[in-house]
Chain A
Amino acid sequence: MRMLWWFFIFFLAAQMILIQFMAEEYLAGHHDKLPYYSVATGFVFVMGVLMYLYFRNVDDTRD
């Protein structure tokens, strides 16, 4: 779980940067690029879920 903690810090940082970029694109009027950012945030979220499940399995096996 200690390893996972660092992964999650990274995912959170990446997600916040993506959201910030997305808001900037929105304010600049580049609406056609917004769906790509949405897909990217979804990807980070799915990776987070997979990582969480994996490390929980590893933890359970150790216990």
Chain B
Amino acid sequence: MWKRIDRYLREQALNIKREKELDMNRRGFIAASLGLLGVLFLSSFPFTARAYRTVKERQQPAYKIAGLDELQIGDSKPFQYPHDNEPALLIRLSDNQYRSYHIKCTHLGCPVFWDKDSGKMKCPCHHGFFNVEDGSVIAGPPQRALPAVKLDFRSDGIYAVGLTPIEGHEGV
């Protein structure tokens, strides 16, 4: 009786089981951590798949904005791309130089317009100014550049074929 109690107490107090201890020696630990390295590697696959899916989604359909000689030099034409609630502007700077940007101001979303006289893009709400060459901010409260629309010149007109992503602006 006392021996059994003594053995029970020893088992509880000195929880040493030599058989178990041999299972988890240094070699066992290393094998387990090798498995963990593999599991972490495999767990990075879904992220990679997500990266390639995003690239695929970004390919937008082509949209005809205007004919080749529809705009005079210095003129602009508004259009919606890629959806109806995303206004954009096509600007003709010279014979064969065109620029196109989304015109939602990156400050508070007012429509930016092309000011032919000053040669800048202006936001009338808070006096933000954008460079027409690359859409970058010249002055005013906006902090980020206007997203540019990629253009393609085909025999029957000028087409919008995609958007140029801007750092910190990927969702657009």
Interface size class on chain B is 20 to 34
Instruction: Give the CA-CA distance A42 to B170 in the complex, in Å.
Output: 27
Contact in complex: B33, A12 (CB < 8 Å)? yes
A62 at interface (Cβ–Cβ under 8 A)? no
B50 at interface (Cβ–Cβ under 8 A)? yes
Q: Is the interface of B mostly helix, strand, loop or mixed?
A: helix
B51 at interface (Cβ–Cβ under 8 A)? yes
Q: What residues of chain B lie closer than 8 Å to A16, measured between beta carbons?
A: 40
Q: What residues of chain B lie closer than 8 Å to A19, measured between beta carbons?
A: 40, 43-44
Instruction: Give the CA-CA distance A32 to B48 in the complex, in Å.
Output: 9
Q: Which residues of A are at the interface with B, using a C-beta cutoff of 8 A?
A: 1-2, 4-5, 8, 11-12, 15-16, 19, 22-23, 26, 29-35, 37-38, 41-42, 44-45, 48-49, 52
Q: What would be 22 A-B contacts, judged by CB atoms less than 8 Å apart?
A: A1-B26, A1-B30, A2-B26, A5-B29, A8-B34, A11-B33, A15-B36, A19-B40, A29-B170, A29-B171, A31-B54, A31-B55, A32-B51, A34-B48, A34-B51, A35-B51, A35-B52, A41-B44, A42-B44, A44-B37, A48-B37, A52-B30
